[in-house]
Amino acid sequence: MQAEKSGADILIEALCDIGVDTIFGYPGGAVLPIYDALFNQSRIRHILVRQEGGAVHAAEGYARSTGKPGVVLVTSGPGATNAITGITDALMDSIPIVVITGQVATHLIGTDAFQEADTVGLTRHCTKHNYLVKDPAKLGGVIHEAFHIATSGRPGPVVIDIPKDVQVATAPYKKPGPIEHRAYRPQVRPETALIEAAVEMLAAAERPILYTGGGIINAGPGASQMLRELARLSCAPVTSTLMGLGAFPASSPQWLGMLGMHGTYEANMAMNKADLMVCLGARFDDRVTGRLDAFSPQSRKVHIDIDRSSINKNIRVDLPIVADVGRAIEDMVKLWKARQHPKSDLAEWWRRIEGWRARDSLAFPGGGKEIMPQAAVKALFAATRGRDPIVTTEVGQHQMWAAQHFGFEGPNKWLTSGGLGTMGYGLPAAIGAQIGNPRALVIDIAGEASIQMNIQEMATATQYRLPVKVFILNNQYMGMVRQWQELSYAGRYAESYSDSLPDFVALAEAYGWTGIRIEDPGDLEDGIARMLAAEGPVMVDCVVAKLANCFPMIPSGAAHTEMLLHDAEVSGEMDDEAKALV
């Protein structure tokens, strides 16, 4: 007879069997048995955040930067509801996390008990899957299955809701073998015939483009390697979504920069004029496509994605391939080599691309006495080049400027909230990334509005001596909102001014951080150097031009060819059709 363990001990045991060594969490009544079990062991490190939302973003940052699943532990009711934004964020960006929530005892479920919330009901549509475990004997199996589901196929968040009595009750636990789910079997291997067709199309194309996304990051570093190989063989230009930055080195001459709403002129024009587009682990988001009927109108389209529902959702494609994108690219590379396809002659195509590139669409006006936010990002990039930093962001103009002006050479270095666009993501994500990469330089490029959404996590960094750097591009506006109001509402800046800002330097010091203020363009380099030289966490309040706008920009509902390159082209008011688009 196997000795029985409490549900809480089963949880710890199962997490250890899975290889979990870090949990981001916050205690409360409905998880006390689990916290007690954590107290009595030393294999798992618990990172105490300051708000449950922070725990989930930290787990996302940990997952995105290490490739391992992030784990969260929170209490019932408000603990679970606070976690929901982060869970939704992880769903939208396909981040593998497992969130364990406490629940009131099984006999109290449905009675409006203290701190009861219908967590499985609330999270049903913002998780990849969720569980309410009412039987301790099933707990171990559910935990193993949850990690399998979170990390395989298209990754995503999984919630396990564990009532308090199930944490206390005992049952046997045995480590299960490999998980064979009855219904859930993601299709990982591509069909050979489809790979052959894709290779032939790519080899025959005169104006090909590789359009890559976050799926390549999720498929592991090997996938990024294979992408480089495919690009080398095919000579095709490469562009990427916001989520895919780093999969292809920004220093490569084949790199066109990001595409879409704030993408480069060359990326969007190449997409528009291509005769073949190969979409690799991206999902034709509206921020990428602009007006659908004008999106890459002349191209035949290949789409490789592990999630069948991403295919033909927004854009109809000619060759859909359901598979792990890393495997698929690897097969394409192998086949290309086996067939000894010659290097394509894309000279004419590249000549056109160089013409678009010569427009230098990321150029920005000088700021005179003010620091231009773009210049600040470029200076940050230049100062950290040799150090392979991990960069997180909040959401807004600063996020887009970081995406445009910070070059990434490898995957898992760029952590941003793409699908949900969650302000407040960057600081906790940086904390999670720093926990997962203790030696790395981790920088949150922030806005003064966003940073206030999870500012409480500064204490977490202090407690665990995490040397994260928060670099605030302080324009005293919710700049992205202000920019849209300028474009669509004739500059009626409703509620987008960041009033009553704290003194960020004093705030930093109050939390035991180093605070630095940079106001003068002449001090930019020195300020950044001081930030990098400081040992512990640093908050930089970089005061930048207030009214700078982020260009290029494709207004929502416009085609890639209708890109705005400068402020001067901005119209003051938009029609209702355009206003209705997000």
Contact between 481 and ligand TPP per CB under 6 A = yes
Whether residue 164 lies in the annotated active site: yes
Whether residue 115 lies in the annotated active site: yes
| 120 interface partner picked from other proteins, ligand TPP, Mg ion, none, CB below 5 to 8 A per type | other proteins
Distance of CA 138 to the CA centre of its chain: 33
* Residue 277, C-beta contacts closer than 8 angstroms, at least 6 positions apart: 208, 209, 211, 271, 296, 299, 300, 301, 302
Contact between 107 and other proteins per CB under 8 A = no
Distance of CA 64 to the CA centre of its chain: 7
Hey, CA dihedral for 285, 286, 290, 294, is it positive or negative? Answer: positive
Which of 45, 174, 189, 316 is the binder for other proteins (CB under 8 A)?
316
81, 172, 163, 63: which is closest to 122 by C-alpha? 81
The full DSSP string for 292-324 is GGGSSTT-EEEEEES-GGGTTSSS--SEEEES-
Contact between 291 and other proteins per CB under 8 A = no
Contact between 447 and Mg ion per CB under 5 A = yes
Q: Which is nearer to ligand TPP, 419 or 447 (CB)?
A: 447
Which of 43, 45, 107, 124 is the binder for other proteins (CB under 8 A)?
124
Contact between 581 and other proteins per CB under 8 A = no
Stretch of 122-130, 267-275, 517-525, 560-568 contacting other proteins, by CB under 8 A: 122-130
Whether residue 52 lies in the annotated active site: yes
Whether residue 562 lies in the annotated active site: no
Distance, in Å, from the CA atom of 105 to the CA atom of 134, rounded to the nearest integer, reads 9
Whether residue 269 lies in the annotated active site: no
CB of 447 to Mg ion, least distance (A): 4
Q: Which is nearer to other proteins, 182 or 351 (CB)?
A: 182
Contact between 125 and other proteins per CB under 8 A = yes
Output DSSP code: residue 443. Answer: E
Active-site hit among 5, 128, 145, 164: 164
Active-site hit among 41, 114, 354, 509: 114
Q: Do residues 234 and 204 make contact, with C-beta atoms less than 8 angstroms apart?
A: no
CB of 427 to ligand TPP, least distance (A): 11
Q: Which is nearer to Mg ion, 89 or 448 (CB)?
A: 448
Specify the residue for token string 């490190």.
45
Q: Do residues 114 and 76 make contact, with C-beta atoms less than 8 angstroms apart?
A: no
Contact between 424 and Mg ion per CB under 5 A = no
Q: How far is CA 147 from CA 14, 187, 195, 465, in A?
A: 10, 17, 30, 29
Active-site hit among 5, 13, 51, 52: 52
Query: What are 50's two structure tokens?
Result: 């300051």
Active-site hit among 480, 531, 539, 553: 480
Angle, helices 32-39 vs 7-18, to 10°: value is 60
Footprint (CB under 6 A) of ligand TPP, residues 358-397 = 394-397
Residues near Mg ion, by CB under 5 A = 447-448, 475, 479
Contact residues toward ligand TPP (CB under 6 A) are: 394-398, 421-423, 447-450, 473, 475, 477-481
Residues designated as active site = 52, 114-115, 164, 480
